[in-house]
Structure 1
Amino acid sequence: MKKSLIALSLGGLTIGITEFVMMGLLPDIASDMKVSIPVAGYLISSYALGVVIGAPLLVIAGRNYAPKKMLLILALMLAVFNALSIIAPDYNVLFASRFLSGLPHGAFFGVGAVVASRLADKGKEAQAISIMFAGLTIANLIGVPIGTYIGHHFIWRYTFVLIAIVGLLTFLAIYLWMPNLEKGESVNMKTQLQFFKKTEAWLIIGITAIGFGGLFAWISYIAPLLINVSKFSPEDVSTILILAGLGMVVGNFVGGKLADKYSPAPTVLALLFVMVLDLLMVYFFSFNQYISLFLTFLTGAISFSVIAPIQMLMIKTAKDAEMIASAALQGSFNIGNALGAFLGGLPLAAGYNFASPNLIGIAMAMTGMVITFILMRLHQKQVHVQAA
């Protein structure tokens, strides 16, 4: 494996821990900051909003930088902004640091995907890109459980020390291992922005932001669900999160296979339907510890299996606008992150139990199914028009 791709994967690892570790730390941070768990959940939304805003802005701002320079800047931002969380004196400063930490997320993956495809051997571009995104699944399998363990058994701020260190390692790996690729042709932003005039583009953004938001309604409150409904001890949460991470690794692999074998839109529709059924089971059966453990693995697998087919949908729609489309897709995932965390917290704030966010997740996944069906109908109409 090329060292340059390992450097990109380290970036994915940093981003993955940054994004997902907050779900396991919510009870610890809420207790330390003396806020409720729903209010602590807004820290997840803050990060997601940072991704949504930062993805297009940083791609546009850095469009004429050499790829290595842009990746170095983004890696340094990841390290520095996560380090702010270590010293945040109160909730408001932590909220701001989470927002800043989200800014480089989408741009790193957007630029990284283009770089990975250029570094790949001919015919292995998709495999190279998958190596970068493998950092996300490794984060959920190893990084997030370790970060959660540190937060539960020591001080939650130490978790952000870990993230900052991984961010600095990413910077160092890119500096040492990434070749000085040429800037390439100047990006015509007018052409790139034409992408947003396509109805299909906005439908895919809607599917991702709303349908995939069902995952975040579940995982944003997984720690209190496991503690208060499944009756696991807080010390067990970091270990149980390994199951979620393992499920995500399996789901990412399965989703890639499905995306290669079947048409992406029907695949997304079917997987969102399976997500609805799964979240129903989470709502009704999480009181049983054995079933809860199985569903933790299964929900992680189903949720991440949707990613590859959605990416294929976006790629097919984004001809000549791959960079901005890649950034927009990351922004869409994190709109789902923000919506899932915010909406999932509403029933908790209203006094319902810690399984109730999954009802919000079900509604979001079902809405994603409706949007996917509309997209499929639009594709059918276009085929008929072209045939005529």
Structure 2
Amino acid sequence: MKKGLIALAFGGLAIGMTEFTMMGILPDIAKDLSVKDTDAAHFIALYALGVVVGAPTLVMFTSKFSPKKVLLFLMLLFFIFNGLFAILPDFKTLSVARFISGLPHGAFFGVGSVVAAKLADKGKEAQAIAFMFTGMTIANLAGVPLGTYIGHHYTWRITYIIIASLGLVTFLAILFWLPKTETRGNTSMLSQLSFFKTIKAWLLIAIISIGTGGLFAWISYIAPMSINVSKVPADNIPYIMILVGTGMFFGNILGGKLSDSISPTKAAILCLSSMVVCLIIVYFTAHINIMAYIMAFITGLVAFTIGSPLQMMLIRNAQGAETLAASAGQASFNIGNTLGAYLGGIPIIIGYSYNTSVLMGAGMAMTGALLSFVFLKKFNISQKM
């Protein structure tokens, strides 16, 4: 495995931990700051807002620099503001640090996706991107549980010191392991933004923003669904999440292989359609205790196959604006996160069972699959780089 790809995977691990560990240690942060859990939850929203704002803006304003320099800058930003988040004393200053710590997220994966594709052997571009995202799946599998444990038993500030340190490790790995790659000749802001004047761009954004909502409508309510419908003991929820993380790890790898084998768009249609089937099975089997464990792994696997195909669709259809498009894709994933959690919660709010959230998710994934089919028919371009 090329060292440059390992450096990018370190970044995925660091970013995955800073994003997802927050959910597990939210009560600890609230207690330490003497605020309500709902107030501490603003740190989640502020990070997501940082991702959406930072993804396109940082890519545009750093487009004149080499990808390696951009990635180093993004990881330096990550290191500084996650470090500040670990030591700042009050809610207001922590809120600022949390917002800024989210800015590098989308830009890192956007630039990193293009770099990974360039480092890959011919015909294995999507697998290289999947390897970068392996860092995020490892974060969910091992990093987040470890960070949550430390936050519960010691202090959440140690957890974020560790996360900031991972950012520094990534900075050094990129510095020494990532080869230089050339910038594109035509990288002005206007030339990059022109991509978003096309129907193709907004169709891709819709596919990601709606289709990936299926994953988030499921995972946002997996704990209460497991406890209240599947009758899984609350103490066993960490095992459910480990199974989800394990499934995501293998699904990410499978998605890269599928994308390289049958084309990114066809892989997206297959992955989103499979997600629909999986979520429907979850709905009808949620009352069976053992199926909660089985479907946690299977759904995690199926749902996470979609990442690499969608990133490759963006890169291959945005000539001259690949990094901006890939970064906008990360912002769209966060929109999918918000939409999935919101729409998935509607049937629960009005009194239906917790497993009804996955039906909303199935509808979103089906919409994403249909939009991908429309994209395939309308923009059936060559799938070669």
TM-score normalised by structure 1 residue count: 0.84
* RMSD of equivalent CA atoms: 3.2
Which residues of 2 match residues 1-388 of structure 1 at below 5 A? 1-25=1-25, 33-36=35-38, 43-87=43-87, 96-120=96-120, 125-179=125-179, 185=185, 187-347=187-347, 353-379=353-379
Change (3 A) 1:255 1:180: closer
Determine the C-alpha separation between the residues in 1 that align with 2:326 and 2:144. 25
Q: Is the 8 A contact 2:63 2:188 kept in 1?
A: no
CA distance in 1, matches of 2:315, 2:67: 21
Taking a change above 3 Å as real, the CA distance of residues 214 and 150 of structure 1, as seen in their structure-2 partners, is: farther
Q: Distance in 2 between matches of 1:87 and 1:348?
A: 38
Residue 147 of structure 2 contacts residue 159 of structure 2 at CA under 8 Å; is this kept in 1? Answer: yes
- The AA in structure 1 aligned to 2:201 is A
Give the conservation status (yes or no) of the 8 Å contact 1:264–1:312.
Answer: yes
1:13, distance to aligned residue in structure 2 (A): 0.8
Q: Which amino acid in structure 2 is aligned with residue 105 of structure 1? A: H
Larger mean CA deviation between 367-376 and 213-222 belongs to: 367-376
Deviation at residue 167 of structure 1 after TM alignment: 1.4
Unaligned runs of 5+ in 2: none
SS class of match (1:320): coil
1:369–1:186 Cα change, 3 Å: closer
Amino acid paired to 1:243: L
- Separation (CA, whole Å) in 2 of partners of 1:182 and 1:47: 31
8 Å CA contact 1:255–1:307 kept in 2: the answer is yes
What is the distance in 2 between the residues matched to 1:222 and 1:30?
23
Give the distance between the partners of 2:229 and 2:307, measured in 1 at CA.
Answer: 29
- For residues 284 and 98 of structure 1, the distance between their equivalents in structure 2, rounded to whole angstroms, comes to 39
Q: Distance in 2 between matches of 1:227 and 1:83?
A: 35
Deviation at 1:29, TM superposition (A): 5.7
Q: Which moved more, 1:15-24 or 1:351-360?
A: 351-360
Share of identical aligned residues, percent? 53
Q: Which moved more, 1:77-86 or 1:47-56?
A: 77-86
The answer on whether the counterparts of 2:129 and 2:256 sit within 8 Å (CA) in structure 1 is no
The SS at the match of 1:64 is coil
Counterpart Cα distance in 2 of 1:118 and 1:256: 15
Task: For 1:184 and 1:209, locate their aligned partners in 2 and report how far apart those are by CA, in whole Å.
Answer: 28
CA deviation after TM superposition for structure 1 residue 10, in Å: 0.6
Gaps in structure 1 of 5+ consecutive residues: 384-388
Given the superposition, is the C-alpha separation of residues 218 and 43 from structure 1 closer, same or farther in structure 2, using an over 3 Å criterion? farther
Contact 1:16 1:139 in 2 (8 A): yes
1:203 CA drift (Å): 0.9
SS at match of 1:50: helix
Q: Which shifted more, 17-26 or 91-100?
A: 91-100
User: Aligned partners of 2:348, 2:46: CA distance in 1, in Å?
Assistant: 18
Structure 1 residue 76, shift from structure 2 partner = 1.9
